[in-house]
Amino acid sequence: MRVTAEQRFAVRLELNGRTREGLAEPRTQLCDFLRHDLGATGVHVGCEHGVCGACTVLVDGVAMRSCLMLAVQAHERRIETVESLADDDTLSDLQQAFRRNHALQCGFCTAGILMSCVDFLERQPDPSEAEVRDMLSGHLCRCTGYTGIVQAVLEVAAQRQTNEEV
């Protein structure tokens, strides 16, 4: 079958726990599909070539740059964006720690960083500061100097460890 750039394909995926559908051209990036077609505007788009990390989402639980994935590749996949983190009006522990530690200013990078942190803490529940900084090296933040972000991640890791022990 010959596919043209203008042709549109049905994409069905799970977005933050709900089945969503839309039509996407073969060249449409996942970040644009999530923002413009499915309304997940918490997905931020910066560099559009995999450098800044602002567009990071979870795909089947793994942090991915949504500017480096085509919407059609997300068919039948499970996508989580920053909109999934809060429980109604209650921010997640990570979001609360970011607020407490002044880990954001303009917030442009924050959604992507939070999603990377979610994945990171799943895989590394008791990280060292160096490991947190290594994870953050995949994200560009022009405001904070990263110190508050590192503190927030370490604080959440410590809190979760304590909660597990109780």
User: Which residues form the interface with ligand FES (CB under 6 A)?
Assistant: 45-48, 50-55, 65, 67, 104-110, 141-144
CB contact set of 28 (below 8 Å; sequence gap of 6+): 70, 71, 72
Q: Are the C-beta atoms of 80 and 74 separated by less than 8 Å?
A: no
Query: Least distance to ligand FES from the beta carbon of 110, Å?
Result: 6
The sign one gets for the Cα dihedral 27, 28, 31, 34 is negative
Residue nearer to ligand FES on the CB measure, 31 or 156: 31
Query: Least distance to ligand FES from the beta carbon of 4, Å?
Result: 26
Query: Least distance to ligand FES from the beta carbon of 152, Å?
Result: 12
Task: List residues bridging with 65 in a β-sheet.
Answer: 56
Residue nearer to ligand FES on the CB measure, 102 or 160: 102
Query: Least distance to ligand FES from the beta carbon of 3, Å?
Result: 24
Residue nearer to ligand FES on the CB measure, 26 or 45: 45
Residue nearer to ligand FES on the CB measure, 24 or 64: 64
